[in-house]
């Protein structure tokens, strides 16, 4: 579980995060949504430890990040997996090399043990015949799956995803969403996803946090988002005609 307590973050005069407090639960898919510039990426980078908050604390299973020593922070980082928006695969390595990289860096496993683990996670993300290919030789959807495989190869306790299905076609995007959701439940991981995609919100948003201008405007589940009267949330979520109709149908059904 991750607990966030009143975090603030500024860059010069730009006050990006203005006192956000929330909890991300274990075994659940937690989503951060909001318009561009609302502070989602900065918030995610604070959770990852890439940015140090100016004020407030973040607790990982009760341990306050700012009170951890450098070594403890390094160990905590090894419990985190991250799927970047552009996948961030290492160009110079094959798919297999990318997935094996954390094992090479942080374990003393034998080559056969590492190979077994790599084969297992690549199979888990439905990539069985791409081991020797380079990132540039595979599709965007496959790159995302490799990024997920790399993120889970060390059995992380926390999985962070920055817009994991941006740039993907709707079907592939749904496959990626479902894969992350299944992995979260299967391995009991605390997953935090930063997204713009309303399909993701509806499909896998067990807990949703809506940010606006650096504040936490609303939080709830994908069921509750249908019922909310918060104007900022409804304006954002139901900005497309399709979602307006979906909501209308939901309200009519409820009545």
Partner 1 sequence: MKYLEAIGKYFIMVWEVFKKPTKWRIMKTLIFKEIDELIYGAMGIIIFISFFIGGVVTIQTALNLTNPLLPKSLIGFAARQSVILEFAPTFTSIIMAGKVGSYITSSIGTMRVTEQIDALEVMGINSLNYLVFPKIVSVMLYPFAVAISMFVGILGGWVAAVFGGFAPSGDFIQGLQMDFNAYHVTYALIKSVVFAFVIATVPSYHGYYMTGGALEVGKASTTSFVWTSVVIIILNYILTQLLLG
Instruction: Please count the helices (runs of H) and the strands (runs of E) in the chain.
Output: 10, 10
Which residue in the set 34, 53, 102, 214 belongs to the binding site for partner 1 (CB under 8 A)?
102
Nearer to partner 1, 84 or 250 (CB): 84
CB of 68 to partner 1, least distance (A): 12
The conformational region for residue 71 under phi > 0 = left, psi -120 to 50 = alpha, else beta, is alpha
Q: Please identify, using beta-carbon distances, which residue of 91 and 229 lies nearer to partner 1.
A: 91
Binding-site string for partner 1 from residue 30 to residue 59, where x marks contact by CB under 8 A and - marks none: ------------------xxx---------
Which residue's structure tokens are 């730009």? Answer: 14
Smallest separation, CB 91 to partner 1 (Å): 7
Query: 18: which residues sit within 8 A by CB, 6+ positions away?
Result: 8, 213, 214, 215
Q: Which of 123, 70, 75 is nearest to 95 (CA)?
A: 123
Among the residue ranges 12-20, 81-89, 204-212, 224-232, the one whose residues contact partner 1 (CB under 8 A): 81-89
Smaller CB distance to partner 1: residue 110 or 255?
A: 110
Segment contacting partner 1 by CB under 8 A, of 101-109, 110-118, 166-174, 227-235: 101-109
Distance CA 202, CA 99 (A): 30
């Amino acid at each position: 579980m991750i607990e966030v307590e009143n975090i603030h973050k500024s860059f010069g005069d730009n006050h990006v995060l203005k006192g956000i407090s929330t909890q991300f639960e274990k075994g659940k898919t937690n989503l951060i949504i909001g318009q561009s510039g609302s502070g989602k990426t900065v918030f995610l980078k604070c959770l990852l430890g890439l940015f140090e908050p100016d004020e407030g604390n973040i607790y990982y299973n009760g341990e306050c990040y700012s009170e951890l020593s450098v070594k403890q922070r390094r160990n905590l980082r090894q419990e985190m997996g991250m799927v970047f928006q552009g996948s961030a695969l290492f160009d110079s390595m094959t798919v297999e090399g990318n997935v094996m990289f954390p094992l090479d860096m942080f374990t003393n496993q034998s080559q056969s043990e590492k190979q077994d683990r790599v084969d297992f996670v690549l199979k888990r993300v439905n990539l069985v015949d791409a081991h020797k290919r380079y990132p540039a030789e595979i599709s965007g959807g496959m790159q995302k799956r490799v990024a997920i495989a790399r993120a889970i190869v060390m059995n992380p306790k926390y999985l962070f995803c920055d817009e994991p299905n941006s740039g993907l076609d709707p079907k592939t995007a749904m496959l990626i969403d479902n894969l992350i959701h299944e992995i979260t439940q299967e391995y009991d991981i605390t997953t935090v996803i930063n997204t713009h995609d309303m399909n993701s919100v509806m499909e896998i948003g067990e807990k949703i946090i809506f940010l606006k201008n650096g504040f936490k405007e609303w939080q709830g589940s994908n069921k509750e988002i249908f019922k909310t009267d918060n104007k900022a949330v409804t304006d954002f979520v139901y900005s497309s005609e399709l979602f307006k109709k979906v909501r209308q149908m939901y309200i009519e059904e409820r009545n």
